[in-house]
């Protein structure tokens, strides 16, 4: 086994343990392997180890490596986890199965337009700026419920979940708790939270999706 395949097995075991601790069904938790900055040759061993759900944070970078890998592994599910520019909405809808970073009205409008045009419907998550950080993308937590509702009423978009990236220098627990509470208030079933340093906590606090990069692929 390569390092990354071993790391993948360790991460999956840790998810299983955290699920057991929280008395949750591990099948309700999806591991998104974050492959940003790694190339096809780094990713292939992880695919060969059975992983099929991957996250990328740049549209252009993903376009460079995933169409080729998808020819080899057609059942891959690709998540966009980085900020989406409105002029990249068409390419994002064409390439990704899940877009986790719907974070403003303009993006909702562009995604709705492209979904109608392309007849492709990636699953959508709304990114919430749980720490209210000025430099970070995401909807203000106080506006999350109204925004999710607006996406449906104004553009016919179905929002499947919420996503957050807690401030890196804070205890993530309160942010995970807030996101889970907001998901309940929004009436959306999916919750994407937790990265290499805190995915076990996220699982214990209700994450349905954890996004893990360096713990699998090594440092970037």
Q: Which residue in 131, 166, 172, 213 binds ligand PLP (CB under 6 A)?
A: 213
Stretch that binds ligand PLP, among 68-76, 87-95, 107-115, 210-218 (CB under 6 A): 210-218
Determine the 3-state secondary structure of 93 from DSSP.
helix
Alpha-carbon distance 161 to 102, whole Å?
10
Considering only residues 60 to 79 of the shown chain, the ones binding ligand PLP according to CB under 6 A are: none
Alpha-carbon distance 78 to 66, whole Å?
8
> What are the E-state strand segments in 86-193?
98-102, 123-127, 159-163, 190-192
If one asks whether residue 212 binds ligand PLP (CB under 6 A), the answer comes out as: yes
Q: Which residue in 18, 19, 81, 157 binds ligand PLP (CB under 6 A)?
A: 81
Stretch that binds ligand PLP, among 42-50, 67-75, 132-140, 211-219 (CB under 6 A): 211-219
- Least distance in Å: CB of 57 to ligand PLP? 4
Name the nearest CA neighbour of 92 among 124, 68, 69: 124
If one asks whether residue 206 binds ligand PLP (CB under 6 A), the answer comes out as: no
Question: What's the CA dihedral at 100, 106, 110, 112 to 10 degrees?
Answer: 70
The Cα diameter of the chain in Å comes to: 50
Alpha-carbon distance 13 to 97, whole Å?
26
- Least distance in Å: CB of 47 to ligand PLP? 18
Considering only residues 82 to 141 of the shown chain, the ones binding ligand PLP according to CB under 6 A are: 82
Task: Please measure the distance between the N-terminal and C-terminal CA atoms of the chain and give it in whole angstroms.
Answer: 21
With CB atoms as reference, the residue minimizing the distance to ligand PLP is 213
Considering only residues 147 to 186 of the shown chain, the ones binding ligand PLP according to CB under 6 A are: 165
- Chain residues binding ligand PLP by CB under 6 A are 34, 36, 57, 81-82, 165, 195-196, 211-215
């Amino acid at each position: 086994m390569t390092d990354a395949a071993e790391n993948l097995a360790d991460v999956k075991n840790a998810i299983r343990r955290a699920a057991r601790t929280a008395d949750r069904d591990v099948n309700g938790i999806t591991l998104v392997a974050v492959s940003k900055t790694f190339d096809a040759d780094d990713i292939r061993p992880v695919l060969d180890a059975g992983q099929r759900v991957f996250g990328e944070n740049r549209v252009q970078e993903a376009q460079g490596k995933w169409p080729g890998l998808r020819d080899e592994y057609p059942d891959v599910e690709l998540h966009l986890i980085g900020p989406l520019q409105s002029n990249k909405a068409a390419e994002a809808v064409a390439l990704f199965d899940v877009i986790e970073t719907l974070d403003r009205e303009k993006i909702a409008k562009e995604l709705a337009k492209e979904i109608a045009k392309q007849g492709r419907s990636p699953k959508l998550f709304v990114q919430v700026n749980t720490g209210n950080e000025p430099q970070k993308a995401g909807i203000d937590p106080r506006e999350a419920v109204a925004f999710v509702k607006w996406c449906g009423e104004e553009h016919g978009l179905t929002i499947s979940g919420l996503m957050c990236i807690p401030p890196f220098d804070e205890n993530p627990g309160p942010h995970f708790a807030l996101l889970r509470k907001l998901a309940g208030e929004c009436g959306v079933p999916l919750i994407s939270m937790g990265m290499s340093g805190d995915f076990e906590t996220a699982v214990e606090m209700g994450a349905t999706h954890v996004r893990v990069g360096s713990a699998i692929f090594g440092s970037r």
